[in-house]
Structure 1
Amino acid sequence: MNEASATVVAERVRKTFEAPGGGPLRAVDDVSLRIRPGELTALVGPDGAGKTTLLRMLAGLLRPDDGALRVLDIDVTRDPQAVQDRISYMPQRFGLYEDLSVQENLDLYADLHGVPQAARRERYARLLEMTDLARFTGRPAGKLSGGMKQKLGLACTLVRSPDLLLLDEPSVGVDPLSRRDLWKIVQQLIDDENLSVIVSTAYMDEAERCAQVFVMHQGRLLAEGAPARLTARARGLTFTATPPADTPARDLQARLIDADALIVDAVPKGGAVRYIRQPDADPRALDALLGGVARQARPEELEDAFMMMLRQHQDAGASAPRMAHDRADDMAQAAAPARNGGDGPVIVVRDLVRRFGDFTAVASTSFEVARGEIFGLLGPNGAGKTTTFRMLCGLLPATSGHLEVAGLNLRTARAQARGRIGYVSQKFALYGNLTVRENPEFFGGAYGLRGQARRQRVAAMVDQFGLDPRAVSGLLPGGYKQRLAMAAGLLHEPEILFLDEPTSGIDPLARRAFWRAITALAQSGVTIIITTHFMEEAEYCDRIAIQDAGRMLALGTPGAVRAQAGGAGAADMNSAFIAIVEQGRARAAGGQA
């Protein structure tokens, strides 16, 4: 392919920032690549890989420090405006105006891009049809669900017809249904308009749709090629192990992932554990590790190859969060709660209702959670799960119903109940300018810990989570930030730990380590309540609840929920989630007809 026919040509491109606290941060480090026109191309890699910085340079919003960069045969360094006139770029946090309606947002972006009035009617009609927003043109953008906001952001990005579309993790933070809808829209644009699209993503199933994949990590390009060619790196190394019926898949997964000399990666799925063995693993040692567990070979996938590349990069000396078996168990012992209230359920919810004006966000929901259980709260964007989660945490009062947490009625003893609860939010909510030691010291005071007892507790938790007490919190990698947030949330030895999408945007290696720690905490008696949009993470749960439109659609073990989905929906949790939500919406529509 010659340069004139390439959509993007990068030659040894570098971009360095001054890191807070001093020292260079090489966001993009000596990257060379060529991207073909009329195709869907993926940039994949964990948080901090350099994907966003590279996309911003392609969009002419950042100037490379070194190297040559041409976009649509234009030198983007010399003439960024010429590039911007021909591309559309949707960043991770697209700037919708929440007080304006869907139609007003479209009009505003059409005005900003100088779209002629004569071209707007046809363009709007096509975009509204593709995004299924035609019924909501008068609704304020702030009243849309997260998935609908993403679709409106994409529509606003496309009010003009570009030669190149840049999408920076468009499906992050949205549910599987919304993610599926977004990808239908993108594929339709490629098919109908021969549009060139470059998308950054952390989802390997999305990258598998692409013609070309570039794997980035810590600013460097690790590999490139068609998905099938990259996937071949894992050939002959991928297996499924099925534990006995009385053994949770997550317990087998924890055992396998601790044996990093034999196992590259392991994740629970469909009641079994999918694992990748090390290429040079000793067969006898592997047999001893697995014991009598039934196992069989399975076809390799792009995610398998991706995890192998990340692990190899880590083993070659790059830093990444890693949680060994003894560290996770020590952590759980340090965080083990004092037992209160006997062996009954630690959370009791009866006929819970929450209304905002005439809108019912949660409608007559009931369930219980046992001590030491991992309970997943799932649902599409706007389903009511965040409202339920906030009520369980004591952050939002219920309109009606009974809500008991750690043996305390949240209607009459909310402050007392909070003392038995730990909380880790989706976004890093600690103080970035404080050190690793100073953050838990501050929060320990808020939990009522004082003097020597607080200092000892902080020191123990910082040590057990493998953190440097002198490090500046805001400069930690994503996985270590989550460890720090966990340490702060567990300082006061809570009985219940609430995790609100805790692994969103962090390195897959860190995500595995994070769940290894969660498994150990549950085994020590801590009750875990978690929300997540990663359906694979639902497989770690003892039970899950799926909500939509404020109503409970499914409640049970992952296996029971997959069985409820039936047919093709029973294949995995992602398919089950989509099937159950669609079945629930069909029943609701039938009831209204």
Structure 2
Amino acid sequence: MRDTGPAVVARSLHKRFVAKGSKQVVRALDDVSLEVRSGTLTALVGPNGAGKTTLLRLMAGLMRADEGELRVLGIDVSADPQAVQDRISYMPQRFGLYDDLSVQENLDLYADLHGVLAGQRRARYARLMEMTDLGRFTDRPAGKLSGGMKQKLGLACTLVRSPDLLLLDEPTVGVDPLSRRELWQIVQQLVDEEKLSVIVSTAYLDEAERCSHVFVLQEGRLIAQGTPDEIRGHAEGTCFVAAPPDGEAPRLMQARLLDARQEIVDAVPKGGEVHFIRRRGTDDAALEKLLAGARAEPVPPRLEDGFMTLLRARQATDTNIAPSAASEGLAPAEGEPGEVVIEVKDLVRRFGDFVAVASTSFSVRRGEIFGLLGPNGAGKTTTFRMLCGLLPASGGQLRVAGVDLRHARAQARQRIGYVSQKFALYGNLTVRENLSFFGGAYGLRGQKLQGRMDTVLQQFGLERELDAPSGQLPGGYRQRLAMATGLLHEPEILFLDEPTSGTDPLARREFWRRITALAEGGTTVVITTHFMEEAEYCDRIVIQDAGKVLAIGTPREVRAQALDGEDDEKRIDMEQAFIGIVEKARQEDSSAERRAAPGVHQ
């Protein structure tokens, strides 16, 4: 029988940290009070560094508040953290799976750690395998699972015992839309059928829409709470969509709107249009000028609109949107606009008998933003690594920046920039030291290096962080530093591997405003992403699955392919298109396999 009292009650919580290497005090939580009802799905949302993870760790009894009271399942966490830990399950952002152990061995290990009796395991395992669809893979090493399957295994290991409260810290970071949907189906099933209390932190506001209650944190303070409808209400009457005029790319219209900070709260491409929030009291004439003749149509607010309205209202100075001159200081890209700078023909990559990429062909033009999309394990990361020269191809032709990558990878790498998914700089080095080190690795010396360092520091707003250890920077600033490092040597082509994974909407807007400006300056951008909103920024995208190309074209062409002859006026976004295309291809492959099976006749 589940508890009927509040799952969590917090009163005036404070938590402070002293930054390493300095005496600066960081207020992770500042006078936070909240109450979470039992048997509900509750979301914690907020920008990076808002205090979401700290709050979850306090609830899990992994750290103690400096001030205030926190009761979890009726227990004072500060007085008896072990009693809380005996009744909850906590899945942190980096869940500790053991790659060399099989799925079954990981489950057994966590069952041993949690003291789950042998007689209880069979029924529990069967339930978990049914929910996660991992029953077919119990003998597979965890290290050979796709990203989405690893997250599902992490959740299964978290649930080897039946907890009274489940804490999930950004469980879908780095997970494709199909796997995200499956993970949320599992969580919702637990709430509906087992009346489990679940608290989840997330950077994705569409996920928070699923929750019964949402808490909005910013800079350690609770700035709003309520149902999704109540949070959406903060943007009521201010949300519109407009189609870009005269064939203008949605990202260019979005950039123009974002730069108009006095009139516009937020803007984002969606379904070939631009969804934007108008500031209350904005002059109609000023808005019409910004829209350049485009017709604005009012639409109901989303949870993300309410979230952005709340955060923008609290910003004394709007520093989160990158300046429109983000590409200033970069040397103009050499070559003709529209020139093909990446050419892929019948590209193949094998790992033993496994074909990760099968006969893939496409080209990318100068100044284009080109997106590589696909489910976890689809082959897009392998394709991406071959394009960067980090992995040799098994077959086919591959030219990047005029260089044949099958024979001169080192030469090509001098003309490209690379920003990896995981922060790949040296955390113990300062911003200055990282830039100096990587500039030297790119062959920059003396005044040339200093000049480029000065330029990127100004471009990315890092001047004040010059002597800060990079590992201690907030997530948004680490991303800026990674971008600055990748652009130091003024590459012709910039490769970005899931650069916004886990970042909040504010940081994503800042990032894409800069990328838009770079592309306008002639830099070619190739990006992988699991966040389908970002595909709307691309000039063209390719969707892969099982190593094969399923779709290629502009976002509009890909959405049309997903509709497959249905009403062209039907509005679908890129996530719906992506899921539709991948699911249809998998169904066709499954049908073909059944027809080819021995004894199967039509």
Q: Find the counterpart in structure 2 of residue 394 from structure 1.
A: 389
Q: Tell me if 1:443 matches 2:438.
A: yes
Distance in 2 (alpha carbons) for counterparts of 1:448 and 1:340: 22
Distance in 1 (alpha carbons) for counterparts of 2:194 and 2:361: 49
Distance in 1 (alpha carbons) for counterparts of 2:388 and 2:193: 48
Tell me the CA shift for residue 518 of structure 1. 0.7
Tell me the CA shift for residue 440 of structure 1. 1.7
Distance in 2 (alpha carbons) for counterparts of 1:358 and 1:286: 58
Tell me the CA shift for residue 320 of structure 1. 5.1
Q: Tell me if 1:467 matches 2:462.
A: yes
Q: Is the Cα–Cα contact under 8 Å of residues 321 and 480 in structure 1 kept in the other structure?
A: no
Tell me the CA shift for residue 464 of structure 1. 2.6
Q: How does 1:545-584 map to 2 (within 5 A)?
A: 545-566=542-563, 571-584=572-585
The alignment's TM-score, normalised by the length of structure 2, stands at: 0.95
Q: Is the Cα–Cα contact under 8 Å of residues 334 and 460 in structure 1 kept in the other structure?
A: yes
Q: Tell me if 1:476 matches 2:473.
A: yes
What are the superposed Cα offsets for residues 360-413 of structure 1, whole Å, 9 maximum, x if unpaired?
Answer: 111110000011000000111111111100000000000111000001100111
Distance in 2 (alpha carbons) for counterparts of 1:194 and 1:506: 30
Distance in 1 (alpha carbons) for counterparts of 2:366 and 2:292: 30
Q: Tell me if 1:10 matches 2:6.
A: no
The alignment's TM-score, normalised by the length of structure 1, stands at: 0.96
Q: Find the counterpart in structure 2 of residue 321 from structure 1.
A: 320
Distance in 2 (alpha carbons) for counterparts of 1:253 and 1:343: 23
- Which of residues 500, 509, 512 in structure 2 aligns to 1:515? 512
Distance in 1 (alpha carbons) for counterparts of 2:400 and 2:374: 22
Cα pair distance change 1:240/1:570, threshold 3 Å: closer
Distance in 2 (alpha carbons) for counterparts of 1:396 and 1:270: 34
Cα pair distance change 1:78/1:4, threshold 3 Å: farther
Distance in 2 (alpha carbons) for counterparts of 1:347 and 1:437: 33
- Which of residues 353, 358, 363 in structure 2 aligns to 1:363? 358
Q: Tell me if 1:376 matches 2:392.
A: no
* Structure 1 residue runs without a partner (length 5+): none
Tell me the CA shift for residue 489 of structure 1. 1.1
Q: Find the counterpart in structure 1 of residue 197 from structure 2.
A: 196
Q: Find the counterpart in structure 2 of residue 83 from structure 1.
A: 84
Tell me the CA shift for residue 466 of structure 1. 2.4
Q: Find the counterpart in structure 1 of residue 498 from structure 2.
A: 501
Distance in 2 (alpha carbons) for counterparts of 1:516 and 1:342: 21
Tell me the CA shift for residue 340 of structure 1. 4.5
Cα pair distance change 1:134/1:126, threshold 3 Å: same
- Which of residues 537, 542, 545 in structure 2 aligns to 1:540? 537
Tell me the CA shift for residue 513 of structure 1. 1.5
Q: Find the counterpart in structure 1 of residue 257 from structure 2.
A: 256
Moved more, 53-62 or 3-12: 3-12
Distance in 2 (alpha carbons) for counterparts of 1:375 and 1:257: 22
Identity within the alignment, %: 68
Q: Find the counterpart in structure 2 of residue 529 from structure 1.
A: 526
Moved more, 84-93 or 483-492: 483-492
Please give the secondary structure, in 2, of the residue aligned with 1:332: coil
What are the superposed Cα offsets for residues 15-48 of structure 1, whole Å, 9 maximum, x if unpaired?
Answer: 1111123211111111100110111111111221
Please give the secondary structure, in 1, of the residue aligned with 2:241: strand
Please give the secondary structure, in 1, of the residue aligned with 2:340: coil
Cα pair distance change 1:561/1:148, threshold 3 Å: same
Distance in 2 (alpha carbons) for counterparts of 1:161 and 1:407: 58
Tell me the CA shift for residue 244 of structure 1. 2.6
Distance in 2 (alpha carbons) for counterparts of 1:92 and 1:399: 35
Distance in 1 (alpha carbons) for counterparts of 2:338 and 2:188: 52
Tell me the CA shift for residue 433 of structure 1. 3.0
What are the superposed Cα offsets for residues 166-218 of structure 1, whole Å, 9 maximum, x if unpaired?
Answer: 11111111000000000100111111111111111111111111111100111
Tell me the CA shift for residue 342 of structure 1. 8.1
Aligned residues: 585
After the TM superposition, list the runs of 4 or more consecutive aligned residues in structure 1 that deviate by more than 6 angstroms.
Answer: none
Tell me the CA shift for residue 343 of structure 1. 5.3
Q: Is the Cα–Cα contact under 8 Å of residues 321 and 513 in structure 2 kept in the other structure?
A: no
Q: Find the counterpart in structure 1 of residue 175 from structure 2.
A: 174
Q: Find the counterpart in structure 1 of residue 37 from structure 2.
A: 36
Please give the secondary structure, in 1, of the residue aligned with 2:537: coil
Cα pair distance change 1:189/1:108, threshold 3 Å: same
Q: Find the counterpart in structure 1 of residue 21 from structure 2.
A: 21
What are the superposed Cα offsets for residues 77-110 of structure 1, whole Å, 9 maximum, x if unpaired?
Answer: 1011111111111111111111111111111111
What are the superposed Cα offsets for residues 234-264 of structure 1, whole Å, 9 maximum, x if unpaired?
Answer: 1100000111352111111010010010000
Please give the secondary structure, in 1, of the residue aligned with 2:327: helix
Q: Find the counterpart in structure 2 of residue 66 from structure 1.
A: 67
Please give the secondary structure, in 1, of the residue aligned with 2:328: helix
Moved more, 483-492 or 79-88: 483-492
Q: Find the counterpart in structure 1 of residue 597 from structure 2.
A: none
- Which of residues 439, 445, 452 in structure 1 aligns to 2:447? 452
Distance in 2 (alpha carbons) for counterparts of 1:146 and 1:250: 29
Q: Is the Cα–Cα contact under 8 Å of residues 424 and 489 in structure 1 kept in the other structure?
A: yes
Please give the secondary structure, in 2, of the residue aligned with 1:104: helix
Amino acid at match of 2:517: A
Q: How does 1:46-445 map to 2 (within 5 A)?
A: 46-315=47-316, 321-325=320-324, 329=325, 331-340=326-335, 344-445=339-440
Tell me the CA shift for residue 564 of structure 1. 0.7
Amino acid at match of 1:17: F
Distance in 1 (alpha carbons) for counterparts of 2:333 and 2:527: 21
